[in-house]
Amino acid sequence: MNLKQMLEKTAGEIPQKEAIILGSQRVTYGELEEASNKVANALIDLDMGKGDHVAILMSHRPEWVINYFGIIKAGGVAVLMGSMLKAPELAPLLRDSDAKILIAEKSFPQMLSPVLSDIPLLKHVIEYDGDSYNKMVADSPSTSPVVDIKDEDEASIIYTSGVLGRQKGVVHTHASFLGTPDIVSAGVGRGREDVVIDTIPFFYLFGLSEVLFGSILKGSTVVIIPHFTPRVVLEAVEKERGSIIFGVPAVHNALAMLRDEVIENYDLSSLKVASTAGAKSSPRLMNMLEDKFNLTLCETYGLSELSVVSMSTLDNHKLGTVGKPICDLRIIDDSGKEVLQGEVGEAVFSAPWVMKEYYKAPELTAQVLKNGWFHTGDLVRMDEDGYLEYVEKKSFMIVTQSGLKISPWEVEEVLLRYPGIADAACVGVNDGQGGQIPIAFIVTKEGQVASVEEIGSFCRQNLADFKLPKKFKFVDSIPKTGSGKIDRQRLKEGVP
């Protein structure tokens, strides 16, 4: 099955079932099918050929889904652009992607206008919320275009800086996209009757593949949360009878820290599971989430290049781990030798749903794909029960002058246990003598005061001396990447 067939099948079976909800905007599967057909036929009339690259730059909304499937049904390759990026960040990605068409909200072409002339292959800029788009789509037939799409055809390019620390385009095929959604659906118990509360934009692979595609395959309803706040999520769960929440750990942390008297104001009896991915979660906070909301937390581990590779399920989960691998896994040391059980090493996976390549970057592809194994750059350990624990990116491990290694997350977990701390991050900075020292950034809870002396004493009770932060910095907020991870590079750059 390819993505076009996936939507056609579900729309044919349940055309009146709501597919996407955003506030008062409600799109049924039948409407999604017809609207995306109109976009596809309009693109073909613009001389878009099979395999052409079409960039999509829109906020988290139903129109994103309609235009995405329009590109796919026309045989195009959808280039996914992060809506939080600025013109200097977007321009090189548009050039690199060889996009011939850009579909965007009005505000983005305006922002990009100074750099559009430097993107020579870009022939059309279409504002989905403009009159010309409305006319183009209105005059287009709603019948499915006849395009020969094969499972191995390229479907999307997703830009990420994950494994190698620099932006590159991850190329996925129809087949690689559809390798895991059914597995994840089975793990979280998703079915046709479920209402999914979605806080993850679709330009992230987890949002696209596991939230959107997984829901379409099952015929579930997706409720879009464009701007997360805990109360907005609680209101959506109550109003739409939400049963599954997808989010990054920061989303679930915020929900877990809600006061009981706030939660009691909402009818959340429909809620049964929360799924998290994108960063390491706190077992303590996730336990609080399960207890407060009477749900099961399923943690998922994956990458833009490899989608899901390990996950917790409703029937088999252990807080503090990313569940059990769903594909072949090796855990290796720097020499490539497998480590002993319980030891930390780099995760190396082999799965049929791995990306095709990094776009126009064979040398970068060769760095991570070796003899059918994908080298993640992530440090993990396997416990005695076969559960996988994600430790940290190799590049963010703090290595002291004496060669001792400190996991930033280990320090952060201790800091987050301190009563007056709302958020925390730890990074390593050069000590000028060939090593690194840990620096802690702290956000205090509203109305509370925490002193360096008290926090330092708490750390000394819970951490080995070599792991103790050498400096504490109080900040208003911890910078995060779009996917919810701590932006350690920004923190490092802000350290004198």
Condensed to tens digits (0 to 9), the pLDDT of residues 153-190 reads 999 999 986 666 567 999 999 999 999 999 999 999 99
* Section 25-42 average pLDDT: 98
Segment among 22-26, 402-406, 411-415, 492-496 with least mean pLDDT: 402-406
Confidence of residue 397 (pLDDT cuts 50, 70, 90): confident
Condensed to tens digits (0 to 9), the pLDDT of residues 95-105 reads 999 999 999 99
Condensed to tens digits (0 to 9), the pLDDT of residues 292-347 reads 999 999 999 999 999 999 999 999 999 989 999 999 999 999 899 999 999 999 99
Q: Which helix (H) or strand (E) holds 388?
A: strand 388-393
Half-sphere exposure of 252 (CA within 13 A, CB side): 33
Indicate the pairing of strand 471-474 with strand 436-444: parallel
Exposure of 228 by Cβ count < 10 A (0-12 exposed, 13-18 middle, 19+ buried)? middle
* Section 250-266 average pLDDT: 94
Q: What is the rounded average pLDDT for all residues in the chain?
A: 93
Per-residue pLDDT at 220 exceeds 60: yes
Confidence of residue 423 (pLDDT cuts 50, 70, 90): very high
Condensed to tens digits (0 to 9), the pLDDT of residues 426-481 reads 999 887 766 789 999 999 998 888 899 999 999 988 887 888 999 999 999 999 88
* Ranges in the chain annotated CATH 3.40.50.12780: 3-149, 181-351+378-394
- Candidates 204, 201, 195; CA nearest to 227 is 201
* Ranges in the chain annotated CATH 3.30.300.30: 399-493
* Phi, psi dihedrals of residue 154, rounded to the nearest 5°: -70, 140
Strand runs labelled E in 100-141: 101-104, 124-127
CA torsion 482-248-156-13 (nearest 10°) is -140
Query: What distance in Å separates the CA atoms of residue 58 and residue 159, rounded to the nearest whole number?
Result: 15
Fold of 3-149: Rossmann fold (3.40.50)
* Section 57-77 average pLDDT: 98
User: In this predicted structure, what is the pLDDT of residue 164?
Assistant: 63
* Section 113-140 average pLDDT: 92
User: In this predicted structure, what is the pLDDT of residue 265?
Assistant: 97
Query: What distance in Å separates the CA atoms of residue 306 and residue 266, rounded to the nearest whole number?
Result: 37
Instruction: For domain 181-351+378-394, give the CATH number.
Output: 3.40.50.12780
SS3 annotation, 454-482: HHHHHHHHHCCHHHCCCEEEECCCCCECC
Fold of 399-493: GMP Synthetase; Chain A, domain 3 (3.30.300)
CA torsion 384-385-386-388 (nearest 10°) is -80
CA distances (Å), origin 188, targets 133, 198, 228, 272, 299: 38, 14, 22, 9, 10
Condensed to tens digits (0 to 9), the pLDDT of residues 337-359 reads 999 999 999 999 999 999 999 99
- Candidates 341, 347, 332, 338; CA nearest to 380 is 347
CA distances (Å), origin 32, targets 50, 79, 142, 306, 434: 21, 20, 11, 28, 57
